[in-house]
């Protein structure tokens, strides 16, 4: 089976957890410290060997695609004030996009993440591909996606990214039952979608990183809409596991930073800001000053 060179990044969501701002600005473009969330995702994809990125977006909502395709050239702003601060960032963005082709397909109605992936089927063709949800950033020495690709190259099956979560969070994720094969790799038996803590088969949650084999798109195409009128990837995989579909899991190494709701987004911002080489020291000093004022 071919190596993984294509990635789908769905960005067609309504961003309801971030209303009203998400009505005007896609949440994927909100800054995570000093660059948008989506840039972290694309950086991870490129560092993992991805050569083609397919955005699934809404009609007339091209801001994410334009961010990477219509770049501001440094020559136009060479005389602007503080140019040294942002020219470096612009050059990094331009360097990031070299060697990657970007394309887009449209999801006209919010009919689930599985339905969003189906819109990219013709571009993926019969190749394995990566899927990255734009709500999840992973800080790791080896890119999270590359960890999954290495597992795929061994098992030649679809691979799900996994992370351990506390009991109180089980109800927000697909929780897997599986048998460890070696190291941090699992053979997945089933996925319990958002279970109560007492009903969860483990504390391993499915995170927004996947390697999908071409047959998964055939399953999605034949899938029925659920009670919410959606086709959901994890639900379809769960049903197909019952029919004998083989899926691997990879408990990746790294820190999972969620950005899918306001509280998680703020925590992720604070975590990365405190570590930032340019802003971290100043921010820590400000926090100490504020704390000292409060204790007086």
Rounded Cα–Cα distance for residues 259 and 30 (Å) = 10
What pTM, to 2 d.p., does this model score? 0.91
Return the structure tokens found at 240: 């197909």
Can you give the pLDDT of all 296 residues of the chain as single tens digits? 668 999 999 998 877 788 787 787 888 988 999 999 999 999 999 999 999 999 999 888 888 888 887 655 445 555 555 456 677 778 888 888 899 999 999 999 989 999 999 999 999 999 999 999 999 999 999 999 999 999 999 999 999 999 999 999 999 999 999 999 989 999 999 999 899 999 999 999 999 999 999 999 999 999 999 999 999 999 999 888 988 889 999 999 999 999 988 999 999 999 999 999 888 899 998 988 888 877 66
By three-state DSSP, how is residue 109 classified?
Answer: coil
CATH class of 6-260: alpha beta
Non-local (6+) Cβ contacts of 164 within 8 A are 203, 204, 205, 251
**CB hemisphere CA count around 268 (13 angstroms):** 24
The pair phi, psi for residue 133, each rounded to 5°, is -75, 140
Return the structure tokens found at 74: 């440094």
H runs (alpha helix) in 60-192: 63-69, 83-97, 113-118, 121-124, 144-155
54-63 burial string, b = 16+ CB within 10 Å, else e? bbbbbeeebb
């Amino acid at each position: 089976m071919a190596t993984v060179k294509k990635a789908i990044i769905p960005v067609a969501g309504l961003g309801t957890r971030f209303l009203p701002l998400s009505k005007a600005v896609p949440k994927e473009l909100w800054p995570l410290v000093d660059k948008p969330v989506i840039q972290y995702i694309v950086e991870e994809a490129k560092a993992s060997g991805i050569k083609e990125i397919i955005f699934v977006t809404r009609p007339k909502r091209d801001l994410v695609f334009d961010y990477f395709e219509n770049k501001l050239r440094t020559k136009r702003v060479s005389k602007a004030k503080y140019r040294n601060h942002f020219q470096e960032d612009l050059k990094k963005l331009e360097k990031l996009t070299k060697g990657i082709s970007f394309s887009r397909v449209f999801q006209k109605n919010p009919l689930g993440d599985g339905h969003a992936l189906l819109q990219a089927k013709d571009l993926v063709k019969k190749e394995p591909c990566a899927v990255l949800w734009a709500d999840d950033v992973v800080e790791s020495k080896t890119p999270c996606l590359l960890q999954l690709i290495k597992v795929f190259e061994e098992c030649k099956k679809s691979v799900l990214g996994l992370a351990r979560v506390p009991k109180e969070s089980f109800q927000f994720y697909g929780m897997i039952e599986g048998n460890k094969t070696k190291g941090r790799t699992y053979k997945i038996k089933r996925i319990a979608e958002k279970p109560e803590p007492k009903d969860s088969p483990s504390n391993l949650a499915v995170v927004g990183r996947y390697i999908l084999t071409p047959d998964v798109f055939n399953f999605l195409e034949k899938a029925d809409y659920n009670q919410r009128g959606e086709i959901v990837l994890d639900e379809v995989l769960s049903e197909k596991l019952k029919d004998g579909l083989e899926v691997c899991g990879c408990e990746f190494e790294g820190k999972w930073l969620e950005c899918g709701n306001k509280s998680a987004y703020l925590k992720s911002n604070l975590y990365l800001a405190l570590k930032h080489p340019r802003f971290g020291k100043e921010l820590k000093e400000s926090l100490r000053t504020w704390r000292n004022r409060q204790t007086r």
